[in-house]
Structure 1
Amino acid sequence: MRGIQLSLNQTQKIRLERALEVLQSLSSKANNNASVTVADTIPVNYEDGVLKGHGTSELEGEVVATVCGVVERVNKLVYVRSLRARYKPEIGDIIVGRVIEVASKHWRLEINFSQDAVLMLSSMNLPDGIQRRRTAVDELNMRSIFEESDVVCAEVRGFQRDGSLHLQARSQKYGKLERGQLLTVPPYLVKRRKQHFHHLEKYGIDLIMGCNGFIWVGEHVEAKDILAEDQVNKFEQQNAKSYSSSTSLEEQEQTYTPLETRQNICRTANAVRVLAILGFNITVEVITETVGLSTSLNLDIHEMLGAEFCVLVAESEAERRRLVKKG
């Protein structure tokens, strides 16, 4: 558990410490042989031959850990996986980023990595949906697809020879994200899973868990070619500016997010913030449980960020893991 900075009274401090002690004891029992700290000895079988990897060193004939983490073994390779490392991209990762530059034939995105990522025009579906070569006209219309400050979901394609990270968005599930909140959490709290796209039907929202620590909480969008609609709308606005000024009130209201949905987005976003403050692994199951706890207590959205609710979430998670351990 990382250091928690909350305005707690004496009673809340004691309750939180007890909950964290329970969580730590359950975690240490589950990973007693795998967890190591700096200078801990890692048991190995020298007869089979050992390859010392990241986070390990040899001292007085023994393999010791140089970082805190979990011991991993791949054949003869032994290394320590740091639990709080920075985001390390892998091919196929689902990431969420923000466009910071529209350049020649590509967009540059901030993805919470040591360097920016590149999304090439040739690595994404065009709004017309036709598979063809990109032309000079397509390059001129790049800003009508993505522009600066747009939030985009994409997939890691790989590293180029110059060391740059390249992305791709060749599916309708990727693209621009609108009507929601972008949250930033430590990347180690978001584990790689088979599914990073979640539709919470009960709340009418979408949840995208970026492997890079960027989490998107927004209004649910049906699977359709959103880019095509966006580009058509922008071209219509450019060709008929007078029409936009005379848009009827009914048409404007269709673009608004309902109040209940906005409240659900804010409540879910605060649940993610609370879990990040406590240092818990962020999964869709834990998020929904935290949201359910806040609604069962009839808490206002802003009250979720208070010290009392953080303590209640820690106690609830400790009890849940204890029941799972018994089961």
Structure 2
Amino acid sequence: MISFASFPSSSHDFSDYSTTRHHPDVEDDIAMDFDLEDGDFEDATQKLIVPGEPLTSSHAFMRGHGTYVDGEEVVGSVAGTVERVNKLVSVRAIRTRYNPEVGDLVVGRITEVQPRRWKVDANSRQDAVLMLSSVNLPGGVQRRKLESDELQMRTFFEEGDLLVAEVQAFFADGAMSLHTRSLKYGKLRNGQLVAVPPVLIKRLKSHFLTLPCGVDVILGLNGYIWVSKHVKESQQEGEEGFDAEAVYSNKNDDIDDATRAAISRVCNIIRILAAQFVPLTDAVLLEAYDLVVEQEGDVKDLLHGDAGDALVTALGGRG
């Protein structure tokens, strides 16, 4: 059984984000006074407020999404993080659908195969679209898509397949247009999907992480995280004449028991941190993994008892 004896903590039910204890970095921000006129928004994305909490004067600022005006104050109407653009104040809800931007990296699941396109569930308000012209096909990236390619669309992606892609543009109805023209994008295999609130995924220099335990992590900005067996960089290089059978294969590779355990451990760590409303970054995941490995406990023990609270407390102690 995993025990973080040096970091005592109380028991909490982390099934509901609104009732859990938060990471010390977030708690510090919660305690800060929301005096917007004093320029208290350097790190606004981590300010957690509750419904009914006054934010600022309605005379000095305009109300945005997630707020309303009560008398002379702008008040939050949802639980979430405060955001400000010039004089516009809004609250980004914790429990909300992903709001995409061009260039975002997302992880999604194919829901439907249509003529010359795939529909993709990307945790947004409507399904995203992956056009046949926006994927890598055998014979090189630049070649034209032929009728034979359209007839073989299910050999590339079919219903239920997971993929990582980039937001390329938006259609007139607001749906995302995705692309997988780089070999670092495309079909996902050899791993496990974990879903967290999108508000916890921060924009990083790179959302492709490699942990020392031989596990790759893809932090999708839409709240879908892919944890998989490590793939060497040499296996991803050489887009011209790439091996389409390997890239679009539906068969997982052989994964040894140690790697399987590492994947499960990382997934459980992500679930615990998300339940405690800890923003997920490469540094946080590395620290949390090191703490768990030091205890040398079973993977399943992470989700039992007070291990989750103790892990977050330990992270705060190291910070």
Length-normalised TM-score, structure 1: 0.77
Q: Give 1:154 deviation, angstroms.
A: 0.2
Q: Distance in 2 between matches of 1:56 and 1:70?
A: 11
Which of 6, 26, 30 aligns to 1:28? It is 30
Q: Give 1:167 deviation, angstroms.
A: 0.9
Q: Which has the larger radius of gyration?
A: 1
Q: CA-to-partner distance for each residue in 1:71-109, whole Å, 9 max, x for gaps?
A: 433223232333443211121111111112222111111
Q: Distance in 2 between matches of 1:80 and 1:310?
A: 28
Whether 2:314 is the aligned partner of 1:300: answer no
5+ residue gaps, structure 1: 1-11, 236-251, 322-327
Q: 1:166 to 1:43 in 2, by over 3 A?
A: same
Q: CA-to-partner distance for each residue in 1:169-211, whole Å, 9 max, x for gaps?
A: 12121001111111112222212222111122x2222110011
Higher helix share: 1
Q: Check the 8 A contact 1:20/1:314 in 2, yes or no.
A: no
Which of 109, 114, 117 aligns to 1:106? It is 117
Q: Distance in 2 between matches of 1:28 and 1:205?
A: 33
1:285 is matched by which residue type in structure 2?
A
What corresponds to 1:224 in structure 2? 237
Which of 10, 15, 18 aligns to 1:14? It is 10
Q: Distance in 2 between matches of 1:26 and 1:233?
A: 45
After the TM superposition, which residues 81-92 of structure 1 pair with which residues of structure 2 at under 5 Å, given as runs? 81-92=92-103
Which of 194, 213, 219 aligns to 1:209? It is 219
Q: Check the 8 A contact 1:209/1:216 in 2, yes or no.
A: yes
Query: Which stretches of structure 1, 4 residues or more, deviate above 6 A after TM superposition?
Result: 232-235
Q: 1:45 to 1:149 in 2, by over 3 A?
A: closer
Q: Give 1:255 deviation, angstroms.
A: 4.0
Q: Distance in 2 between matches of 1:31 and 1:265?
A: 40
1:41 is matched by which residue type in structure 2?
P
Q: Distance in 2 between matches of 1:305 and 1:232?
A: 35
Q: Give 1:225 deviation, angstroms.
A: 5.5
Aligned with 1:291: secondary structure?
helix
Q: Distance in 2 between matches of 1:117 and 1:108?
A: 6
Q: Check the 8 A contact 1:127/1:225 in 2, yes or no.
A: no
Q: Give 1:44 deviation, angstroms.
A: 4.3
Whether 2:259 is the aligned partner of 1:261: answer yes
Give me the CA root mean square deviation.
3.1
Q: How many residues align?
A: 289
Q: 1:122 to 1:316 in 2, by over 3 A?
A: same
Whose relative contact order is higher, 1 or 2, with alpha carbons under 8 Å and at least 6 apart? 2
Q: CA-to-partner distance for each residue in 1:270-314, whole Å, 9 max, x for gaps?
A: 211222232322222222222222221110112222123213202
Q: 1:198 to 1:282 in 2, by over 3 A?
A: same
1:258 is matched by which residue type in structure 2?
D
Aligned with 1:43: secondary structure?
strand
Q: 1:119 to 1:31 in 2, by over 3 A?
A: farther
Length-normalised TM-score, structure 2: 0.79
What corresponds to 2:16 in structure 1? none
Q: 1:119 to 1:318 in 2, by over 3 A?
A: same
Q: Give 1:50 deviation, angstroms.
A: 4.4
Q: Distance in 1 between matches of 2:114 and 2:123?
A: 20
Q: Distance in 1 between matches of 2:260 and 2:77?
A: 46
1:199 is matched by which residue type in structure 2?
T
1:312 is matched by which residue type in structure 2?
A
Q: Give 1:155 deviation, angstroms.
A: 0.8
Q: Give 1:21 deviation, angstroms.
A: 7.6
After the TM superposition, which residues 32-51 of structure 1 pair with which residues of structure 2 at under 5 Å, given as runs? 33=35, 35=47, 36-44=49-57, 46=59, 50-51=61-62
What corresponds to 2:176 in structure 1? 165
Which of 278, 281, 284 aligns to 1:280? It is 278
2:225 is matched by which residue type in structure 1?
I
Q: 1:31 to 1:69 in 2, by over 3 A?
A: farther
Identity over aligned pairs, percent: 39
Q: 1:22 to 1:274 in 2, by over 3 A?
A: closer
5+ residue gaps, structure 2: 1-7, 14-19, 41-46
1:26 is matched by which residue type in structure 2?
D
Q: Distance in 2 between matches of 1:280 and 1:233?
A: 34
